[in-house]
């Protein structure tokens, strides 16, 4: 009898110890992306939305993939030379800001008043320093202004004309607001305003979207990058033109530190893209970090819980890219597609657009 | 020998089980504030800073306590009638916005350009809906604008002129920007600008603060309220005039959902006051909620960790008020003082200013 009790107790102890160990070990086996011991790594996104194969032309797809590749290479070049993850995410984001393909910088969507109002943010995981700007109309690369706010001001967040005055004092490149204007996007705005004027019902809204397959993905488009450098420091950067036809100085999740942009070496760096209001309320970036820190979840498990469960429950469409200091990358999205890519080795950047693409190395 | 092993194993098992139980149980005994099974509860703050007894006159102290009491009673009156925690926190905050004593609404501090730019936010814990505004110059009660953004727009965050346009469409009370102006505060701004012009060193800055003991507490002043109603729903509201002499459209933590304002029935409602930049980077409100949710901490333990440890480590001065659905209230601050108070029963509101006051019922 004693022997049985003894055996029972030993078994129970064993089970308890095993269960403890399982809980505290990082489940690294869940991450398929990084090669063994990657030194540096970078991931980018160019917005999430209803991006479907049937609405793409081969030419358009090729152009997007080439621009994503260019962004990856710009960021990677910084990391490769021993540069910081901060400089790498800025370099990657600038390429997408300068391209009319993405809803950020040149090519940003229009507000209801026909203006382009840009938001951007950056955060670095070592110091947890951050910089963010909103409602910018004349700074060529809003991400460089967010960077200047982080490094050269005592503030974290600046908006509107005040932020633009700071940009001028910082000698950042100022452009005529018309620089951001893209004719295709302007027509898209006019279409939407026209639709609203006609007080169309929901089914007709859908028709409009079918006519213009880029309606939805542009509506919430954003660009972003996350990286880990040779020092093991992570950083995140995000930039956006906001929502097409937005009113009332609306600001989304991008410049909200903790929501659209977040970084902490202890957990991860996150850049989000999607329906910003839901991302703000879910505090997306910090929620992923908190699950890693306090539940000992892997980056992938935490990111999946937030994007594929929490956001789905409240119909918060979009996705995120994230990286941890070990180079693990997660890129979950609950929309039809997300322009995205990552790079661990020179010349080996991988880009993706649709849901069904194999993301493994 | 077998007996010893047996005993050892049983002891080990016992210890493991005890340690597990300790980790998962809510340490409710840490909360001294609520009476047993409170139906409703409300807490408020009127800003944190270097508020010392020796700098106060009895008249001034009495006036502050009376205004805090008035705010508590306004919020409590809503809860008592079965009103929502959302309406209660708005009522409490409006009293402080309307008073020149606090850095919010009438009596807000001045920007470097001699303007008053106001920020506010509200969030409710049942729906996790939220509304926030920044850089408002002509809406009498910014908290009512944040409320309108939450209820009557598809957006969460609006800034500047766009938000003011929305306020007019919502028929909110619009005032001349001069309404917010308080002569004492204006002189305070002139003093600071003068000091900066003279390029004074650190010790002279200190002298200035000694001359004007309200320098620091006004610099980061904020008002806020958190409440739980008869339905067990929590809500948080915060309103501020920002930092004295702030530049470049600086926005602090108040309108950042997750930082200065946050609410979730599953955890707590939080309203913060302090050096906003540090509060943003720490994602203060959501960090407290995450520790409760994922570490099973009590409200008090989570709030203490964030305010008395995390913020102290990065010299982020200030405090928070928070409430959970059980009516537990926490009001930690790491500054010299914080205008604050709470109320569980009619006519029994309690107000506090200094660090050494006994907060128990």
DSSP secondary structure letter of residue A196: H
Q: What is the ipTM of this complex?
A: 0.86
**Mean pLDDT on A38-52:** 91
- Contact at 8 Å (CB) between A52 and A336? yes
Residue of chain B with shortest Cα separation from A252:
B157
Q: Cα dihedral sign for A278, A284, A286, A287?
A: positive
Residue with the two structure tokens 């609405």: A55
Give pTM, 2 decimals: 0.86
Considering only CB atoms, B10 lies closest to which of A9, A135, A257, namely A9
Within 170-229 of B, beta carbons closer than 8 Å to A belong to none
A250 touches chain B (CB under 8 A): yes
Per-residue pLDDT reduced to its tens digit, A290-307: 999 999 999 999 999 999
Q: What pLDDT does residue B328 have?
A: 96
User: How far apart (Å, rounded) are the C-alpha atoms in residues B55 and B172?
Assistant: 38
Per the structure block, which two tokens stand in for A119? 């938001």
Across the interface, do B277 and A134 touch by the CB < 8 Å criterion?
Answer: no
- Contact at 8 Å (CB) between B353 and B55? no
Those residues of chain B that have pLDDT short of 50 are 1, 16-30, 199-217
Nearest chain B CA: its distance from A2 CA (Å): 9
A316 touches chain B (CB under 8 A): no
Per the structure block, which two tokens stand in for B237? 């509201």
Long-range contacts of B176-179 (CB under 8 A, 24+ apart): B176/B138, B177/B115, B177/B116, B177/B137, B177/B138, B179/B106, B179/B140
A347 touches chain B (CB under 8 A): no
Considering only CB atoms, B158 lies closest to which of A9, A250, A291, namely A250
Task: Provide the 10 A C-beta neighbour count for residue A172.
Answer: 18
Nearest chain A CA: its distance from B23 CA (Å): 12
Residue with the two structure tokens 């501090």: B109
User: How far apart (Å, rounded) are the C-alpha atoms in residues B231 and A270?
Assistant: 36
Q: What pLDDT does residue A144 have?
A: 98
Residues of B tagged active-site: 222
DSSP secondary structure letter of residue B190: H
Per-residue pLDDT reduced to its tens digit, A257-292: 999 999 999 999 999 999 999 999 999 999 999 999
Considering only CB atoms, B160 lies closest to which of A16, A160, A314, namely A160
- Contact at 8 Å (CB) between B199 and B218? no
A-B CB pairs within 8 A amount to 155
Within 18-47 of B, beta carbons closer than 8 Å to A belong to none
Buried b (16+ CB within 10 A) or exposed e, A133-159: bbbbbbbbbbbbbbbbbbeebebbbbb
Confidence of residue A8 (pLDDT cuts 50, 70, 90): low
Q: What pLDDT does residue A13 have?
A: 54
Per the structure block, which two tokens stand in for A100? 């009319």
Chain B residues in contact with A259 by the CB 8 A cut-off are: 257-258
Residue of chain A with shortest Cα separation from B145:
A248
Domains and CATH numbers, chain A: 39-354 (3.60.20.30)
Confidence of residue A54 (pLDDT cuts 50, 70, 90): confident
Per the structure block, which two tokens stand in for B201? 């060193």
């Amino acid at each position: 009898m004693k022997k049985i009790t003894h055996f029972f107790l030993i078994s129970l102890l064993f089970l308890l110890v095993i269960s403890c160990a399982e809980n505290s070990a990082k489940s690294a086996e869940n991450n398929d992306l990084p090669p063994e011991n990657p030194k540096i790594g970078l991931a980018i996104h160019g917005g999430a939305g209803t991006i479907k194969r049937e609405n793409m032309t081969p030419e358009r797809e090729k152009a997007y993939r080439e621009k994503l590749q260019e962004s990856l290479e710009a960021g990677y070049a910084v990391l490769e030379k021993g540069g910081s993850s901060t400089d790498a995410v800025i370099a990657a984001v600038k390429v997408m800001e300068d391209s009319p393909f993405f809803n950020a910088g040149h090519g940003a969507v229009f507000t209801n008043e026909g203006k382009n109002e840009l938001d951007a943010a950056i955060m670095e995981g070592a110091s947890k320093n951050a910089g963010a700007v909103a409602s910018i109309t004349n700074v060529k690369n809003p991400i460089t202004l967010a960077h200047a706010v982080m490094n050269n001001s005592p503030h974290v967040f600046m908006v509107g004309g005040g932020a633009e005055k700071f940009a001028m004092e910082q000698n950042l490149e100022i452009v005529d607001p018309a620089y951001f204007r893209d004719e295709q996007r302007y027509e898209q705005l006019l279409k939407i305003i026209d639709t609203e004027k006609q007080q169309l019902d929901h089914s007709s809204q859908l028709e409009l979207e079918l006519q213009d397959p880029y309606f939805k993905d542009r509506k919430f488009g954003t660009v972003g990058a996350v990286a880990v450098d040779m020092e093991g420091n992570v950083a995140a950067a995000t930039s956006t033109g906001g929502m097409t036809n937005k009113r009332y100085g609306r600001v989304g999740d991008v410049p909200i530190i903790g929501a659209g942009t977040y970084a902490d070496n202890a957990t991860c760096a996150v850049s989000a893209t999607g329906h910003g209001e839901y991302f703000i309320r879910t505090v997306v970036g910090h929620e992923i970090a908190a699950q890693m820190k306090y539940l000992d979840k892997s980056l992938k498990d935490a990111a999946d819980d937030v994007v594929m469960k929490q956001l789905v429950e409240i119909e918060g469409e979009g996705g995120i890219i994230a990286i941890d200091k070990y180079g693990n990358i997660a890129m979950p999205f609950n929309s039809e597609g997300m322009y995205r890519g990552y790079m661990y080795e020179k010349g080996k950047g991988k880009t993706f657009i649709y849901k069904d693409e194999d993301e493994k190395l």
